[in-house]
């Protein structure tokens, strides 16, 4: 069995993540809900896709009013998904295949169904101030509301206790009171529990909001950082080099402090603001938006990394863009009002891009060659669609489409927890894994090649990154260098072909070889060589090409 704890402390930089919703992935017992045994059944598929780390949305018992981000018992598995033994079995089966498994850990809040909240609202001794209670809903007035479509205040009045409680998300998700040392100790116990069970790490949900302080916006408080440092120390003690990823949806300069000194806080953080700008750049046919945000991204400690993504289980967030950019994004990507939610867009990748393969490919090529560890969101590797008739963000969390059968190979139940997409161009009968397995030109096979290419080059992930100047603003040219490995990835963001020579004087004398290219690019057959000084560019609409100085493995 491969060693689940790698000795290489920075292994995560070369990893590719796959985010999946257990409830929607594979139902093994016919009850209409995906479960952990179902994930086990699909591990070979995930291994063949080439991903390294599986990120499971929360799996603990929950009333599922926020798909598990409303936790009712931190140290257990929701009965619909299985039990702790199933989770142990998943870990073992994943490790056998060289895969790692992490889940969300929701530190900031619980479900209002959690026994702690029930005890606290009843003022039970010991639990009285486990949550943030107040007589005055005017407290902490400088705090923004995050779920703007469903909440108009961060306070909700509790009839039982006769006081208001604080919540940064839904009203049924009361925030824990981190000023209480018992809360801090208990959440550390939760962390220890999962680590000792053998989990490979966590995605730490909503970490900027743990502590509140009057007169601030209640984000990024010093005490929050101090507690996260305690968490890092605990993780290092039990499972050094775990995959620890923090969710901080903020500007890069505000996110930076969460890396700490590079060793004492978060090793990995999402780069949220680069995401909408990749979509913006493709819509505008210009690289400027990406350049703008990368120039505003400070250098980070070498021991740390960004995590990048195109889509996830939430809305495509437009919080970290200007008003003008947001208006542009809504007009281009969410023309109908029902496509919008909170400050974002509730659509999946393929429909956002009108199902156009070229756009899907060029965005994924950028995802794999920008600085950071990339995440794929389940179903996007086959170009699944969304169901806008479902409320909230549920439209992007529909059952995985494995085959053309009525339950899409996801379930045998007549009524799955959410309907399988059955109509239109993204219906399971048309878009499914089985059909794409049979077609070497399918998106699925292309994604497998993309992931494999990414992993051949340590420069992608570990390398120093530079956005090169190109004479044509439609070209996004990314240079990644790591020791002897050089990868130049050229992307044509425009809807029209681009050709010419791309001068890169500093690569003069290096022989570069074309190792990968989009099907809309036909600059030369893969394997063509050139002098790095002048790259021949002949890219079709949304074409891309990766040039590398590293010989193919068989020639080394």
* Count of C-beta atoms within a 10 Å radius of residue 195: 18
Determine whether 69 is exposed, middle or buried from the number of CB atoms within 10 Å of its CB (0-12, 13-18, 19+).
Answer: buried
Cα torsion for 167, 172, 173, 178, to the nearest 10°? Answer: 60
Nearer to ligand GLC, 14 or 66 (CB): 66
Nearer to ligand GLC, 375 or 507 (CB): 375
Nearer to ligand GLC, 52 or 151 (CB): 151
Nearer to ligand GLC, 66 or 387 (CB): 66
Nearer to ligand GLC, 203 or 359 (CB): 203
Nearer to ligand GLC, 247 or 386 (CB): 247
- Minimum CB–partner distance for residue 206 and ligand GLC (Å): 5
Look up tokens 């046919």; give the residue: 285
- Minimum CB–partner distance for residue 167 and ligand GLC (Å): 10
Angle between helices 357-369 and 274-284 (to 10 degrees): 140
In angstroms, the CA 278 to CA 305 distance is 19
List interacting residues with ligand GLC (CB under 6 A).
Answer: 66, 69, 106, 169, 205-206, 247, 313-314
- Minimum CB–partner distance for residue 186 and ligand GLC (Å): 18
Q: Which helix (H) or strand (E) holds 284?
A: helix 274-284
First to last CA, the chain: 28
Q: What is the number of helices (H) and of strands (E) in the chain?
A: 16, 22
Residues 6+ apart with CB under 8 A from 37: 28, 29, 82, 86, 89
Look up tokens 């063509």; give the residue: 528
Contact 97, 196 (CB under 8 A): no
- Minimum CB–partner distance for residue 131 and ligand GLC (Å): 15
* Count of C-beta atoms within a 10 Å radius of residue 196: 10
In angstroms, the CA 495 to CA 504 distance is 24
Concerning whether 247 is annotated as a catalytic residue, the answer is yes
- Minimum CB–partner distance for residue 247 and ligand GLC (Å): 6
**Minimal CB distance to ligand GLC: which residue?**
69
Catalytic residue from among 86, 151, 212, 247: 247
- Minimum CB–partner distance for residue 194 and ligand GLC (Å): 17
Tokens of 136: 């005055």
- Minimum CB–partner distance for residue 309 and ligand GLC (Å): 11
Catalytic residue from among 205, 265, 315, 392: 205
Nearer to ligand GLC, 311 or 462 (CB): 311
Query: Rg of the chain over CA atoms, in angstroms?
Result: 23
DSSP label at 501? E
In angstroms, the CA 152 to CA 156 distance is 10
Positions marked catalytic: 205, 247
């Amino acid at each position: 069995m491969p060693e689940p704890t790698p000795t290489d402390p920075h292994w995560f930089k070369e990893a590719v993540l796959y985010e999946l919703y257990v409830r929607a992935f594979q139902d093994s017992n016919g009850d209409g809900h995906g479960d952990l045994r179902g994930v086990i059944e699909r591990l070979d598929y995930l291994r063949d896709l080439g991903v390294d780390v599986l990120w499971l949305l929360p799996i603990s018992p929950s009333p599922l009013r926020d798909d598990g981000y409303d936790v009712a018992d931190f140290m257990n598995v929701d009965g619909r998904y299985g039990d702790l033994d199933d989770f142990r079995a998943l870990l073992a089966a994943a490790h056998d295949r060289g895969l790692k498994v992490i889940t969300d850990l929701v530190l900031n809040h619980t479900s209002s169904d959690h026994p702690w909240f029930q005890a606290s609202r009843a003022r039970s001794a010991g639990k009285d101030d486990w949550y943030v209670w107040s007589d005055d809903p005017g407290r902490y007035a400088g705090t923004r509301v995050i779920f703007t479509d469903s909440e108009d205040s961060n306070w909700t009045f509790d009839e039982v206790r006769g006081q208001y409680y604080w919540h940064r998300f839904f009203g049924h998700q009361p925030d824990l009171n981190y000023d209480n040392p018992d809360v801090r100790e208990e959440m550390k116990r939760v962390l220890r529990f999962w680590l000792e069970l053998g989990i490979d790490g966590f995605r730490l949900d909503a970490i900027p909001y743990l502590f509140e302080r009057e007169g601030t916006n209640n984000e990024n408080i010093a005490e929050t950082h101090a507690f996260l440092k305690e968490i890092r120390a605990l993780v290092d003690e039990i499972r050094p080099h775990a995959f620890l990823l923090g969710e901080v949806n903020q500007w890069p300069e505000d996110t930076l402090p969460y890396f700490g000194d590079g060793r004492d806080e978060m090793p990995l953080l999402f780069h949220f603001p680069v995401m909408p700008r990749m979509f913006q750049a493709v819509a505008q046919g210009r690289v400027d938006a990406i350049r703008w945000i990368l120039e505003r991204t400070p250098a980070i400690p070498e021991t740390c990394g960004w995590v990048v993504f195109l889509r996830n289980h939430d809305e495509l967030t437009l919080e970290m863009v200007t008003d003008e950019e947001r208006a542009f994004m809504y007009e281009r990507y969410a023309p109908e009002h029902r496509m919008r939610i909170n400050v974002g867009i509730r659509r999946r990748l393929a429909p956002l891009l009108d199902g156009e393969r070229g756009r899907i490919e060029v965005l994924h090529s950028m995802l794999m060659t920008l600085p950071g560890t990339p995440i794929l969101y389940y179903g996007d590797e086959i170009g699944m669609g969304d169901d806008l008739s479902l409320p909230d963000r549920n439209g992007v969390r529909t059952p995985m489409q494995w085959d053309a059968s009525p339950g899409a190979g996801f379930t045998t139940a007549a009524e799955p927890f959410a309907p399988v997409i059955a109509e239109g161009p993204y219906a399971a009968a048309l878009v499914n894994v089985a059909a794409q397995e049979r077609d070497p030109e399918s998106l699925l096979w292309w994604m497998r090649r993309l992931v494999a290419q990414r992993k051949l080059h340590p420069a992608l992930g570990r390398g120093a990154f530079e956005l090169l100047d190109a004479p044509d603003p439609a070209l996004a040219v990314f240079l990644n260098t790591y020791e002897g490995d050089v990868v130049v990835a050229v992307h044509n963001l425009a809807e029209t072909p681009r050709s010419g020579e791309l001068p890169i004087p500093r690569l003069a004398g290096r022989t570069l070889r074309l190792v990968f290219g989009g099907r809309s690019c036909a600059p030369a057959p893969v394997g063509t060589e050139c002098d790095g000084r002048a790259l021949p560019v002949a890219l079709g609409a949304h074409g891309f090409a990766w040039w590398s100085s590293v010989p193919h493995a068989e020639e080394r």
